């Protein structure tokens, strides 16, 4: 079923009393929401959800216009039968319950297909605000500047600064594209932002010490990759490159272990 047809099917089900009843029973009981609050739900497809890295799901915005305090909800249903909705559900619930990060609250979900939508689904409260992509064209110039304090000093000599930038390009040294390396050994283990560091800490707390022990140390990482080579084989040139990196890392680890034995 194509995405437009899927949204039409969702809108058709949302017009039925059964789906509104699901919202009332699951959301209204705990929040004292009257059934009439869901009498005029408007369904609209999110514009290009791929920009938000939402994959394998069709999302629709549910807008409650009759409520004294209008709210927007997001209805998420899998686009493919193999999609496991609980993989998205569990992290959202963990972050919402155990952190102060801005994550949407999941008010109701159902993983089987025996419901009004005939599909697994979850309904989230949509976070207020607008995305940067849609608001960027209307943002003022001063707001776009990284450091507004330096704007006045920079604007005093625009021609000088512009000519300096143009003529310096000819002598600039740029790193070639092929030097970009996705090797996990060279990755920065410390997350770049406080929010990501908090997410990582919550994940480690939820996964437990045993997971951290078997996931991070180099000897266990090598064991994981060795098992993957044994089960999947080398099916492409990238596989051979990965195998060479694996042997190189193993050689370095073995050398360090032998040096440690000699010291003792």
Looking at per-residue pLDDT, the higher value among 183 and 228 belongs to 228
Give the chain's domains with CATH numbers: 3-125 (3.30.200.20), 186-263 (no CATH)
| pLDDT one-digit tens code per residue, 232-258 | 888 888 888 889 999 998 998 888 888
Separation in Å, CA 238 to CA 203, 218, 220, 242, 244: 30, 21, 22, 6, 10
Distance CA 113, CA 22 (A): 14
What share of the chain in percent tops pLDDT 90?
A: 1
Distance of CA 102 to the CA centre of its chain: 13
3-state secondary structure of 182: coil
Residue 171's pLDDT band (boundaries 50, 70, 90)? Answer: low
pLDDT value at position 36?
45
Of 11-20, 108-117, 187-196, which range is least confident? 11-20
């Amino acid at each position: 079923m194509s995405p437009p047809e899927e949204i039409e099917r969702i809108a058709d089900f949302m017009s039925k009393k059964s789906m509104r009843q699901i919202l009332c029973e699951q959301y209204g009981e705990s929040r004292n929401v009257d059934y009439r609050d869901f009498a005029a739900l408007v369904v609209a497809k999110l514009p290009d959800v791929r920009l938000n890295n939402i994959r394998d799901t069709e999302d629709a915005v549910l807008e409650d216009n009759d409520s004294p305090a209008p709210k927007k909800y997001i209805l998420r249903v899998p686009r493919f039968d193999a999609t496991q909705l609980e993989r998205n559900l569990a992290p959202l619930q963990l972050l919402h319950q155990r952190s102060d990060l801005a994550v949407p609250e999941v008010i109701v979900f159902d993983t089987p297909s025996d419901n009004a939508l005939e599909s697994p689904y979850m309904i989230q409260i949509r976070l207020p605000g607008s995305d940067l992509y849609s608001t960027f064209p209307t943002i003022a110039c001063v707001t776009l500047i990284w450091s507004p304090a330096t704007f006045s000093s920079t604007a005093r000599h625009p021609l000088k600064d512009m000519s300096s930038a143009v003529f310096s390009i000819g002598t600039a040294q740029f790193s070639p594209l092929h030097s970009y390396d996705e090797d996990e050994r060279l990755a920065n283990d410390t997350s770049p932002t406080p929010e990501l560091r908090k997410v990582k800490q919550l994940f480690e707390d939820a996964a437990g010490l045993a997971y951290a022990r078997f996931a991070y140390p180099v000897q266990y990482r090598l064991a994981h990759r060795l098992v993957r080579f044994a089960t999947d084989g080398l099916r492409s040139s990238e596989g051979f490159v990965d195998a060479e990196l694996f042997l190189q890392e193993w050689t370095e680890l073995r050398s360090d272990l032998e040096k440690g034995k000699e010291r003792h």
